[in-house]
Chain A
Amino acid sequence: MAEGIKDKVVILGMGCTKFGERWNSSSEDLSIDAFTECIEDAGIEKKDIQAVWVATHFDEINVGKGGNFLGTALKLPLVPVTRTENFCASGTEAFRGACYGVASGAYDIVLALGVEKLKDVGYGGLPGTPAFGQMQAIMGPNATAPGMFAQLATAYSAAYNMPMEKIKEAMAHISWKSHQNGTRNPRAHLRKAIPLEQILSAPMIAYPLGLFDCCGVSDGSACAIVTTPEIAKKIKPNDEQVKVKAIQVSVSSGEEVLYTDWDGAGMLTTRHAATEAYKEAGIKNPRKEISMMEVHDCFSITELATMEDLYISEPGKAPNDVLDGFFDLDGQIPCQPDGGLKCFGHPIAASGLRMLFEMYNQLLGRWPEDRAVKNPKYGLTHNLGGVPNQNVCSVAIVGL
Chain B
Amino acid sequence: MIGIRSYGGYIPHYRMNRLVIFGSMGWINPANILNAQGEKAVANFDEDSVTMAAAAAADCVTDFNRDLIGGVYFASTTASYKERLCANLVAGALATREDVRTADFGNGLKAGTTALISALDAVSAGTAENVVVSAADCRLGTMGSPQELMFGDGAAAFMVGDTDVIAEFKGSYSTGHDFVDHFRGSGAKFDRQWEERWIRDVGFGEFIPEVVNGLCDKYGVTTGDFAKVIYPCYYGGARKAINKKLTLEPDQVIDNLQAVVGDTGTAQPLLMLVKALEESKPGDKILLVSYGSGCDALFFEVTDNIHKFPSRRGFMGNLNRRAELDNYVKYLTWRRMVPVEMGLRGEEQKWTRWSLMWRHHKEMLSLEGSKCKACGTVQFPPQRVCVKPECGAIDQSEPVVLSDKGGKIGTFTSDMLAASINPPAVYGTVNFNGGGRYVFDFTDCTVDDLTVGNPIDFSFRIKYYDQANDITDYFWKAVPVTEGAE
Q: Which residues of A contact B (CB under 8 A)?
A: 121-125, 127-129, 134-135, 137-144, 146-148, 150-152, 154-155, 157-158, 203-209, 253-255, 257-260, 264, 389
CA distance A129 to B350 in the complex (A): 9
**B292 vs chain A, min Cβ distance (A):** 36
Asked whether, in the complex, the Cβ of B428 is within 8 Å of the Cβ of A151, the reply is: yes
Q: In the complex, what residues of B have CB within 8 A of residue A158's CB? A: 411, 452-453
CA distance A253 to B389 in the complex (A): 9
In the complex, the number of residue pairs spanning A and B with C-beta atoms less than 8 Å apart equals 140
Say yes or no: A143-B427 contact (C-beta < 8 A), given A123-B343, A137-B350, A258-B437. Answer: yes
Select from chain A the residue with minimum beta-carbon distance to B417: A144
Contact of B413 among A127, A135, A150, A260 (CB under 8 A): A150
Asked whether, in the complex, the Cβ of B417 is within 8 Å of the Cβ of A138, the reply is: no
5 tightest Cβ-Cβ pairs between the two chains A and B: A147-B415, A141-B427, A151-B411, A158-B452, A150-B413
Asked whether, in the complex, the Cβ of A141 is within 8 Å of the Cβ of B439, the reply is: yes
Contact of B415 among A123, A150, A258, A389 (CB under 8 A): A150
Contact of B416 among A134, A205, A255 (CB under 8 A): A205
B245 at the interface (CB under 8 A from A): no
Asked whether, in the complex, the Cβ of A259 is within 8 Å of the Cβ of B453, the reply is: no
Asked whether, in the complex, the Cβ of B427 is within 8 Å of the Cβ of A147, the reply is: yes
Q: In the complex, what residues of A have CB within 8 A of residue B427's CB? A: 141, 143, 147
Asked whether, in the complex, the Cβ of A264 is within 8 Å of the Cβ of B410, the reply is: yes
Q: In the complex, what residues of B have CB within 8 A of residue A206's CB? A: 413-418, 424
B344 at the interface (CB under 8 A from A): yes
Asked whether, in the complex, the Cβ of A389 is within 8 Å of the Cβ of B439, the reply is: yes
Q: In the complex, what residues of B have CB within 8 A of residue A137's CB? A: 350
Asked whether, in the complex, the Cβ of B437 is within 8 Å of the Cβ of A138, the reply is: no
Asked whether, in the complex, the Cβ of A259 is within 8 Å of the Cβ of B345, the reply is: no
B190 at the interface (CB under 8 A from A): no
Say yes or no: A259-B387 contact (C-beta < 8 A), given A134-B351, A154-B413, A206-B413. Answer: yes
Asked whether, in the complex, the Cβ of A135 is within 8 Å of the Cβ of B381, the reply is: yes
CA distance A155 to B408 in the complex (A): 13
* Additional pairs, 16, CB under 8 Å, beyond known A129-B348, A259-B379: A123-B345, A125-B417, A138-B350, A138-B475, A139-B363, A139-B438, A144-B417, A150-B413, A151-B412, A152-B411, A205-B416, A207-B447, A255-B389, A257-B437, A260-B431, A264-B411
Select from chain B the residue with minimum beta-carbon distance to A203: B416
Asked whether, in the complex, the Cβ of B429 is within 8 Å of the Cβ of A151, the reply is: yes
Q: Which residues of B contact A (CB under 8 A)?
A: 343-345, 348, 350-353, 356-357, 360, 363-364, 377, 379-381, 383, 387-389, 410-420, 424-425, 427-429, 431, 435-441, 447, 452-453, 463-464, 473, 475
Q: In the complex, what residues of A have CB within 8 A of residue B431's CB? A: 260
Asked whether, in the complex, the Cβ of B348 is within 8 Å of the Cβ of A128, the reply is: yes
Asked whether, in the complex, the Cβ of A260 is within 8 Å of the Cβ of B418, the reply is: no
Which one of A138, A204, A253, A257 has the greatest number of beta carbons of chain B within 10 Å? A138
Asked whether, in the complex, the Cβ of A138 is within 8 Å of the Cβ of B473, the reply is: yes
Q: In the complex, what residues of B have CB within 8 A of residue A207's CB? A: 413-415, 424, 447
Asked whether, in the complex, the Cβ of B356 is within 8 Å of the Cβ of A139, the reply is: no
CA distance A167 to B75 in the complex (A): 51
Q: In the complex, what residues of B have CB within 8 A of residue A140's CB? A: 438-439
Asked whether, in the complex, the Cβ of A141 is within 8 Å of the Cβ of B425, the reply is: yes
CA distance A389 to B348 in the complex (A): 24
Asked whether, in the complex, the Cβ of B377 is within 8 Å of the Cβ of A259, the reply is: yes
**B39 vs chain A, min Cβ distance (A):** 30
**B330 vs chain A, min Cβ distance (A):** 19
Q: In the complex, what residues of A have CB within 8 A of residue B344's CB? A: 121-123
Asked whether, in the complex, the Cβ of B463 is within 8 Å of the Cβ of A254, the reply is: no
Select from chain A the residue with minimum beta-carbon distance to B448: A207
Asked whether, in the complex, the Cβ of B439 is within 8 Å of the Cβ of A258, the reply is: no
CA distance A155 to B414 in the complex (A): 14
Q: In the complex, what residues of A have CB within 8 A of residue B419's CB? A: 128, 142
21 pairs, A vs B, C-beta closer than 8 Å: A128-B348, A135-B360, A138-B357, A138-B463, A139-B364, A141-B425, A141-B439, A143-B425, A147-B415, A148-B439, A150-B413, A155-B410, A158-B452, A158-B453, A205-B415, A207-B415, A258-B379, A258-B383, A258-B387, A260-B436, A264-B411
Asked whether, in the complex, the Cβ of A143 is within 8 Å of the Cβ of B418, the reply is: yes
Asked whether, in the complex, the Cβ of A147 is within 8 Å of the Cβ of B364, the reply is: no
CA distance A138 to B364 in the complex (A): 9
CA distance A140 to B428 in the complex (A): 10
Asked whether, in the complex, the Cβ of A260 is within 8 Å of the Cβ of B415, the reply is: no
Contact of B425 among A124, A147, A157 (CB under 8 A): A147
Q: In the complex, what residues of A have CB within 8 A of residue B428's CB? A: 151, 154
Select from chain A the residue with minimum beta-carbon distance to B385: A254
Asked whether, in the complex, the Cβ of B413 is within 8 Å of the Cβ of A139, the reply is: no
Contact of A260 among B350, B435, B441, B463 (CB under 8 A): B435
Q: In the complex, what residues of B have CB within 8 A of residue A143's CB? A: 415, 418, 425, 427, 439
Q: In the complex, what residues of B have CB within 8 A of residue A146's CB? A: 413, 415, 417
Q: In the complex, what residues of A have CB within 8 A of residue B410's CB? A: 155, 260, 264
Q: In the complex, what residues of A have CB within 8 A of residue B435's CB? A: 260
Asked whether, in the complex, the Cβ of A125 is within 8 Å of the Cβ of B389, the reply is: no
Say yes or no: A157-B452 contact (C-beta < 8 A), given A142-B420, A144-B417, A151-B429. Answer: yes
Q: In the complex, what residues of B have CB within 8 A of residue A122's CB? A: 344
Q: In the complex, what residues of B have CB within 8 A of residue A264's CB? A: 410-411, 429
CA distance A389 to B439 in the complex (A): 9
Q: In the complex, what residues of A have CB within 8 A of residue B452's CB? A: 154-155, 157-158
CA distance A368 to B363 in the complex (A): 58
